[in-house]
Amino acid sequence: MSRPPTFAPPPGVRAYHLATARGDFAVLDAPAVGPLRGTALLLPGFTGSKEDFIALHGPLADAGYRTVAVDGRGQFESPGSRDDEAPYAQVELAQDVLAQTHAIGAPVHLLGHSLGGQISRAAVLLDPAPFVSLTLMASGPAQISSSQQQRVKLLRDALAVMDLAQVWDAMQAMDAPEETDTGELDEGLDDREDLRRRWLGNSPAQLIATGRQLCVEPDRVAELAAVGLPVHVLSGELDDTWPITLLDDMATRLGAHRTVVRDAEHSPNTDQPLATARALAAFWDRAERRRSDKGAEERPAGEKRPESEKRPEGEERPEEGAISGAEE
């Protein structure tokens, strides 16, 4: 699972439940600093939560982007059935994403990490209209690797006979010491307790249903390529869930922008947040410029540019993707 540096929202980031046509969802909402360039909706992965993006909010706000990270249905602080798997069918979760998008204000840049990437892809295939771009972060073309399928099967089997607290205790007992050591994440944070609290907040039915999806997801790359939406395939240098070569090939098939974040693995958002944020902002800048250019081409001759596409008179445009202190 991703290990965020903290579970406490940074200054200026608002935690609340977003009301949508499909129910309420827990979010962390970070406004842009200065003129707004765009809005992004961030979807976490399997066993993850909105806090997995907590280190991205600040640098992306500085780059001009409002970011809204969300707990999906039955994840951590978002409500969901504890025993009925039907609400967690991929098409249902994709409909949730569309509802969240309309609630925060379309159009948005959509980003999905791991499982969140496959749900994001499903949402775009249902209706691409509300989206400016799609970023697939450490999220592959089809089912997860064989080794990860075995791990997910173990988890699903355990959830069939144990409650979440018992499964957590079993997972901690099985982990190697270096995998459970809290290390230098945050001297003021009891990391293990926060991770346990997040785990217990999940719906068992959600974990079972989405775990099954990860193991059987079909290859829908050709469908996504046909949509024509700007796509960004971003990952770390190492990934045991989808091999890097597979992600490279997917990016080629999509005609997508490709970013490999150095010194990062399956969660570049927590492993190297500044480099990840810089890559995201640069890609979103290009997508926004493409959208603006397309809008200009489609406007009738003589029609003025909408006020929303103008910068205030005398305002200098910051360097594309500029983020203070960002390093690769």
Q: pLDDT value at position 294?
A: 78
Q: Please say if the pLDDT value at position 181 is more than 80.
A: no
Tell me which of 154 and 183 has the higher pLDDT.
154
Residues 20-65 pLDDT 10s: 999 999 999 999 999 999 999 999 999 999 999 999 999 999 999 9
Spatial distance between the Cα atoms of 28 and 16, rounded to a whole number of angstroms: 7
Q: What is the mean pLDDT of residues 146-169?
A: 95
Give residue-wise pLDDT tens across range 244-260.
Answer: 999 999 999 999 999 99
**pLDDT tens readout for residues 203-230:** 999 999 999 999 999 999 999 999 999 9
User: Residues 268-283: what's their mean pLDDT?
Assistant: 98
β-partners of residue 17 are 26
Contacts (Cβ under 8 Å, ≥6 apart) of 217: 118, 142, 143, 144
Q: Considering just the CA atoms, what is the radius of gyration of the chain in Å?
A: 19
pLDDT tens sequence across 86-138: 999 999 999 999 999 999 999 999 999 999 999 999 999 999 999 999 999 99
Specify burial of residue 24 (Cβ count, 10 A radius: 0-12, 13-18, 19+): middle
Query: Is residue 168 pLDDT above 60, yes or no?
Result: yes
Q: Which residue has the higher pLDDT, 206 or 192?
A: 206
pLDDT, mean over the chain: 89
Average pLDDT over residues 186-205: 81
Q: How do 131-137 and 231-236 pair as beta strands?
A: parallel
The pLDDT, as a whole number, for residue 300 is: 59
Region 6-25: mean pLDDT is 96
Q: How many angstroms separate the CA atoms of 94 and 99, rounded?
A: 9
67 phi/psi in degrees, rounded to 5: -125, 135
b/e map of 292-322 (b: 16 or more CB within 10 Å)?
A: eeeeeeeeeeeeeeeeeeeeeeeeeebeebb
Question: Which residue is listed with tokens 């089997």?
Answer: 157
Rounded-to-integer distance, Cα 130 and Cα 128, Å: 6
11: how many CB neighbours lie within 10 A of its CB?
7
Look at residue 117 in the predicted model and tell me its pLDDT: 98
d(CA 44, CA 269): 10
* C-alpha–C-alpha distance, residues 285 and 106, integer Å: 17
Report the range of poorest mean pLDDT among 55-64, 160-169, 177-186: 177-186
pLDDT band at 2 (very low <50, low <70, confident <90, very high): confident
Which pLDDT score is estimated for 12?
94
Tell whether pTM > 0.85: yes
